[in-house]
Amino acid sequence: MPYLRLLIGNDTVLPAAQLPPVRLTEPMLYAVIRGSALLTAGSSEMRLVAGAGVWVPAGEVVEVRPAIGAVLIPVPARGEGLSGTTIVHIPSATVPALLSAFANALGHLDSAPSAPLTVRGTGQGPLTAPPMPRSDALGVLADALLASPATDLASAVCRAVPGWSLRTVQRRFRDETGWTIAAWRRRHRLRSGAELITAGRDLEWIAHHIGYASLAGFIRAFAEAAGVTPGQWRAGVATEGNLTAEIVVPDTEVGANRTWTRVNGSHVAVWAAIGPAELVIANRSISLSEGDAVIIPAGSRNELRIPPGSVLMPLGYRSALRGSIGAPLEPARIGGLGTLEMLEAVLATYTRVGVVGIDPDRGFSAALAGSRRAPVTPDDGKLAALANLFVRAPELRTCDAAARLGTSERELYRLVHARTGEPLAAWLRMLRMTRARNQLGDGETPTEVSRELGYAHLPAFSRAFRAVHGAGPSVLSVPNLKPTREAWGREQRVPASTL
């Protein structure tokens, strides 16, 4: 088990969290805003401290091990001027942008997903391998140069492609690879040097082995290519002094947004992390100031309206089977981002790579303890149980649902209308289409979702989906959230019974 040294009290050594590696299918940024973390991407292991992060391209195998007490925000991010895994500077001023990107990746907003966060290179890229030449003749030359890093170029050309002039070789090599022979060769030599550094070989020996006349020349070339000295590379430490890329924060403010209207099968806590928001629930409005949190009871139709510049986060959830919760009257004052306690709860709930040892129920419990709610009635419990039942078994007929709950079908019609003001059929359609949209976000196809919800034909499901969401399941821009969830260590956001 790898260990991460943390200075806690008397220099106690604590193990890093062990999380399974995942092959990324979209580029990701892992940003440490408190504490430290170990991150392995391919064969490179890096120790990140607060103010540093790593951008990792799609296709790379990543393992993230945050230290106890660390806070790490993982977000999808496109790269600009980057060719591989790159260390990123994370100034404190970019934390709101990171949080906004994380919130967008949760999939609860109604608008089309905004452009992903951008990470731009500020120096030479990491030690990625340049491409090999396409032609067989130059491939032989490239193999010869890789086999003997210190070989004279003219001699290698004479042996590999006899009869070719050096100028012709250089021109064709650049046409096929995009690199000059000198730059291509230097990058491969330094990549070999990086592997030998990681293996613990002496730096002076490495310098001469890969063809450098002096240790100073090797150190200078390595630092220019990698952005860190050989000693820093060996230590695997990312600090502000050796970062090679930066987050590009858009100049435009985050626009107004809203969540898509839904009926949840679980009790859900939401948090105004930055700026205000407005909750519309059962035709009532509740204003949230920055730092407020409120619990939306299971079975209640709801939506949240988010003004420009605000960031609203789902804080956590609790199964309706654990008991009913009264309608919200006043939100809880739990605070903004200052202490990071609520952000820890969000990360613990929706990722396995953001924090370690944090109870995911922390945020929900804080919202429950601090808010004021209407007294719980027997009907509250029945509505929550009914919503939970239909989310877990959406194909049920109402008569079967009534039998499972030990009541009559007539009582279900009365209950839903009394608590929501809606006919049972309209409420049930909203509940099922809430699950449908979540399942589309899990990467399922409309045909798969239609079948799981019990529809005999796809057109009938499409009509019901369009009536609730304003567009058909194949037309509406529902982002596939599965790649992000896998990168966060969760294949699905939450169990189906809590959607």
Give me the number of domains the chain comprises: 4
Q: Of 441, 337, 462, which Cα lies nearest the Cα of 110?
A: 441
332 lies in a domain?
Answer: yes
pLDDT score for 4:
27
pLDDT score for 491:
59
For residues 340 and 29, give the distance between their C-alpha atoms in angstroms, rounded to a whole number: 19
Q: 194 near 234, Cβ under 8 Å?
A: no
Q: What is the mean pLDDT of residues 165-185?
A: 87
231 lies in a domain?
Answer: no
**Is the pTM here over 0.75, yes or no?**
no
391 in the same domain as 301? no
Phi–psi pair at 452, nearest 5 degrees: -65, -30
200 in the same domain as 168? yes
The CATH number given to whatever domain includes residue 282 is: 2.60.120
Q: What is the mean pLDDT of residues 7-13?
A: 29
Domain encompassing residue 14: 3-125+243-248
pLDDT score for 155:
87
Per-residue model confidence as pLDDT tens digits over 26-64: 899 999 999 999 998 877 788 889 999 999 888 788 999
195 in the same domain as 104? no
407 in the same domain as 472? yes
| Three-state secondary structure call for residue 77 | strand
Of 106-120, 230-244, 331-345, the range with the highest mean pLDDT is 331-345
Query: What confidence category does residue 355 fall into, taking pLDDT thresholds of 50, 70 and 90?
Result: very high
For residues 34 and 53, give the distance between their C-alpha atoms in angstroms, rounded to a whole number: 11
Query: What confidence category does residue 414 fall into, taking pLDDT thresholds of 50, 70 and 90?
Result: very high
45 lies in a domain?
Answer: yes
Query: What confidence category does residue 347 fall into, taking pLDDT thresholds of 50, 70 and 90?
Result: very high
Of 205-219, 226-240, 402-416, the range with the highest mean pLDDT is 402-416
Q: Of 22, 20, 10, 13, which Cα lies nearest the Cα of 68?
A: 13
pLDDT at 124 over 80: no
pLDDT score for 248:
84
Q: What is the mean pLDDT of residues 341-349?
A: 94
Record the tokens describing residue 330, joined without a space: 């006043």
390 lies in a domain?
Answer: yes
pLDDT at 112 over 60: no
pLDDT score for 128:
66
Per-residue model confidence as pLDDT tens digits over 454-481: 898 999 999 999 999 988 998 887 878 8
479 in the same domain as 368? no
Q: Of 309, 310, 301, which Cα lies nearest the Cα of 272?
A: 310
pLDDT score for 497:
40
pLDDT score for 272:
96
pLDDT score for 45:
82
pLDDT score for 196:
86
For residues 107 and 128, give the distance between their C-alpha atoms in angstroms, rounded to a whole number: 33
The CATH number given to whatever domain includes residue 154 is: 1.10.10.60
The mean-pLDDT minimum among 88-97, 248-257, 486-495 falls in: 486-495
Q: What is the mean pLDDT of residues 62-73?
A: 94
478 lies in a domain?
Answer: yes
pLDDT score for 1:
23
Q: 43 near 34, Cβ under 8 Å?
A: no
Query: What confidence category does residue 74 fall into, taking pLDDT thresholds of 50, 70 and 90?
Result: very high
Q: What is the mean pLDDT of residues 414-438?
A: 93
Q: Of 97, 87, 70, which Cα lies nearest the Cα of 125?
A: 87
pLDDT score for 35:
94
450 in the same domain as 395? yes
For residues 204 and 218, give the distance between their C-alpha atoms in angstroms, rounded to a whole number: 9
Domain limit, last residue, from 309, 338, 373: 373
Q: 75 near 101, Cβ under 8 Å?
A: yes
pLDDT at 450 over 50: yes
236 lies in a domain?
Answer: no
Query: What confidence category does residue 377 fall into, taking pLDDT thresholds of 50, 70 and 90?
Result: very high
pLDDT score for 13:
33
| Three-state secondary structure call for residue 458 | helix
pLDDT at 487 over 60: yes
Of 10-19, 79-88, 235-244, the range with the highest mean pLDDT is 79-88
Record the tokens describing residue 110, joined without a space: 């109604």
State the DSSP string of 96-112: HHHHHHHHHHTT-BSSP
User: Can you give the C-alpha Rg of the chain in angstroms?
Assistant: 28
pLDDT score for 422:
92
Query: What confidence category does residue 8 fall into, taking pLDDT thresholds of 50, 70 and 90?
Result: very low
pLDDT at 249 over 60: yes
422 lies in a domain?
Answer: yes
Q: Where are the beta strands (DSSP E) in 155-291?
A: 237-238, 245-248, 257-258, 262-263, 266-274, 277-281, 284-288
pLDDT at 239 over 90: no
212 in the same domain as 278? no
Per-residue model confidence as pLDDT tens digits over 273-321: 999 999 999 889 999 999 999 999 999 999 999 998 899 999 999 999 8
% of residues, the chain, pLDDT over 90: 44
490 in the same domain as 432? yes
Mean pLDDT of the chain: 85
97 lies in a domain?
Answer: yes
301 in the same domain as 366? yes
158 in the same domain as 96? no
365 in the same domain as 385? no
Query: What confidence category does residue 137 fall into, taking pLDDT thresholds of 50, 70 and 90?
Result: confident
88 in the same domain as 7? yes
pLDDT score for 127:
66
